[in-house]
Amino acid sequence: MQLKKLRIDPNWESRLESIGYGYHTLDNVPYWVDDYYYEINVKEADLIYKASNELWTMCLDAVEYIIKNKRYHHFHIPPHMIHHIERTWENDEPSIYGRFDFAYDKTNGALKMLEFNADTPTSLFETGIVQWYWKKHYFPELTDQFNSIHEQLINCWGELKPYLNGDILHFSCAKETLEDLTNIEYLRDTAIQAGLQTKLIYIDDIGWSGRNFVDLEGEPIQSIFKLYPWEWMIREEFGVHIINDLNKTQWIEPSWKMLLSNKAILPILWELYPNHPYLLASYFEEPGHLKHFVKKPILSREGANIEMYYDKQMIYATAGEYGDEDYIYQELATLHREETGFSIIGSWIIGQESCGISFRESDMPITTDQSRFVPHIIRH
């Protein structure tokens, strides 16, 4: 895994905007990196592929274990949602995607799961489309990339089509969120390519008829993909209706994903798979035997409210609004570091299979919403 530099394309911004990528720069600071990239080899790509698929299976087993043993208290999930979670799990309600975040230690080749973004992972458009066009621009020859996201999404929607409730699949995100809307419209486009009828509705515009959810035309919402966190949604004004919905609207991602998007899943996985090579030691209580660890809120996003400890002394922390529910403690990982910053690997599961990676780079050793996106290629 090597960082390599390029002579930047002077028209890189307009090139990205021409494919619908409008948030490449945030507050005059580039979020998208166009002039350097990671080069990985086939062995490293195979390791990420194998680890992601194995961890996905482990996560599904962990959901079964939590439900069977009623371990919900760790997750601080409102009691009224538990039956809904169990029903969606028992009915095998489909999941489209998720993203594992990995630390990679170049000195020993160790790949360690930091967390699983199982409910509302973003940067899918950057991973599936933008970095693919970046590769075609700078490497028009037969250079490879760990990236079959686009094809896998179309295939996944096609397989899902016979199992959807109703004829229309709604897509939803909050208003005035360009990044979320771009990702939603990309997902919606792949669903259309798979032959699905779709409709866009903002979360803010979802209505309640007294019996079921409706769109702005008053039509029942029977199936809906939402890029909006479950823990936020159940606290919205309409959230209480989720369990009263006579239509039993099919939400994608399903509510059983609340167990995997919550960082309480990390100590559960460590309990089920102690000393597993892809896991970091994780606990619900502060571990007396660990000198170096990270304290994470179970529901934080974008690296908020993280505390990093070295020799049991806090060396770094991020601000935010999370932590009211609870925390977990995770062994401190060794992150890949270059002169440009610290990097983690995002590994995407679409359907049931690993199919693409992304790199996020930060000036500090915690990935936040300010972290840069770095493209990659595979060296044969």
For residues 44 and 75, give the distance between their C-alpha atoms in angstroms, rounded to a whole number: 34
For residues 267 and 231, give the distance between their C-alpha atoms in angstroms, rounded to a whole number: 20
For tokens 């409706």, the residue is 214
Provide mean pLDDT across the span 315-330: 89
Flag whether pLDDT at 369 surpasses 90: no
* pLDDT for position 320: 85
Domain borders along the chain are: 2-262+335-379, 285-326
Provide mean pLDDT across the span 329-349: 96
* pLDDT for position 236: 84
Contact 206, 172 (CB under 8 A): yes
For residues 104 and 336, give the distance between their C-alpha atoms in angstroms, rounded to a whole number: 6
Output the average pLDDT for the chain: 95
Nearest C-alpha neighbor of 49 from the set 267, 374, 350 = 350
Which residues, in sequence order, are bridge partners of residue 288?
A: none
Flag whether pLDDT at 323 surpasses 80: no
For residues 79 and 267, give the distance between their C-alpha atoms in angstroms, rounded to a whole number: 21
**pLDDT-based confidence at residue 69 (cuts at 50, 70, 90):** very high
Nearest C-alpha neighbor of 39 from the set 127, 145, 150, 162 = 145
Nearest C-alpha neighbor of 52 from the set 274, 265, 348 = 348
* pLDDT for position 178: 92
Spell out the residues 6+ positions from residue 362 whose beta carbon is closer than 8 angstroms to its own. 341, 342, 343, 368, 370, 371, 372
* pLDDT for position 302: 80
Provide mean pLDDT across the span 75-91: 96
The pair of three-digit structure tokens given for residue 261, joined into one six-digit string: 């998007």
CB-facing half-sphere around the CA of 375: CA atoms within 13 A: 26
* pLDDT for position 368: 79
Residue 35 has φ and ψ, to the nearest 5°, of: -110, 10
* CATH architecture under which domain 2-262+335-379 falls: 3-Layer(aba) Sandwich (3.40)
| pTM attached to this predicted model | 0.96
Residues 105/143/355/250 CA torsion (nearest 10 deg): 130
Flag whether pLDDT at 41 surpasses 80: yes
**pLDDT-based confidence at residue 235 (cuts at 50, 70, 90):** confident
Contact 333, 115 (CB under 8 A): no
* pLDDT for position 143: 80
The region of weakest confidence among 1-5, 78-82, 281-285, 369-373 is 369-373
* pLDDT for position 270: 98
CA angle 134, 123, 214 (to 5 degrees): 130
- What is the SS3 assignment for 13? helix
Q: 165: alpha, beta or left, given left = phi > 0 and alpha = psi -120 to 50?
A: beta
* pLDDT for position 155: 98
Flag whether pLDDT at 358 surpasses 90: yes
Flag whether pLDDT at 367 surpasses 90: no
* pLDDT for position 16: 96
Of the two residues 43 and 301, the one the predictor is more confident about is: 43
**pLDDT-based confidence at residue 362 (cuts at 50, 70, 90):** very high
